[in-house]
Amino acid sequence: MKRHIAHIALVVADYDEAIAFYTQKLGFVLIEDTVLSETKRWVLIAPGQDAQCAILLAKAANDEQEQAIGNQSGKRVFLFLYTDDFWCDHEAMTAKGISFVRPPVTQDYGTVAVFEDLYGNLWDLIQPSEQKTT
């Protein structure tokens, strides 16, 4: 049996502002944007066109979902963005106004810094060390 995670839902306040942030500030690719109803769209973004896992931007539909915006993981790091050029990505993201809430450090597993997205969700930007690539 072969399985993988295809999408991870990320609750957002607005589709268009989320698309703009992830594509313009983080350099993600808009994979799909399909209107499903007057209030719902199927919006997939990913770090690259060939990424195996994409993020499904899910607009909050009620008060309970709105409360989860920016805090889907209890203020822990929620998503992990791997890179093969940490310093290039860090510099580009900083220049585009991305807020790094923990500065870069080098650990046994690689170089990492924590940033927040437009809603406050925490992400790791990681360049794995050569001996640890997953």
For 81-118, how does the pLDDT look when each residue is reduced to its tens digit (9 = 90+)?
Answer: 999 999 999 999 999 999 999 999 999 999 999 999 99
Is residue 111 exposed (0-12), middle (13-18) or buried (19+ Cβ within 10 Å)? Answer: middle
Using 50, 70 and 90 to split pLDDT, how confident is the model at 130?
Answer: confident
Using 50, 70 and 90 to split pLDDT, how confident is the model at 131?
Answer: low
Task: Quote the CA–CA distance of 118 and 128 in Å, as a whole number.
Answer: 25
Please give the domain boundaries of the chain with CATH numbers for all domains: 1-69 (3.10.180.10), 71-134 (3.10.180.10)
What residues contact residue 36 under an 8 Å CB cut-off, 6+ apart? 42
Using 50, 70 and 90 to split pLDDT, how confident is the model at 38?
Answer: very high
pLDDT for 104? 98
Residue 132 has pLDDT above 70, yes or no: no
pLDDT for 134? 53
Mean pLDDT of 19-43: 97
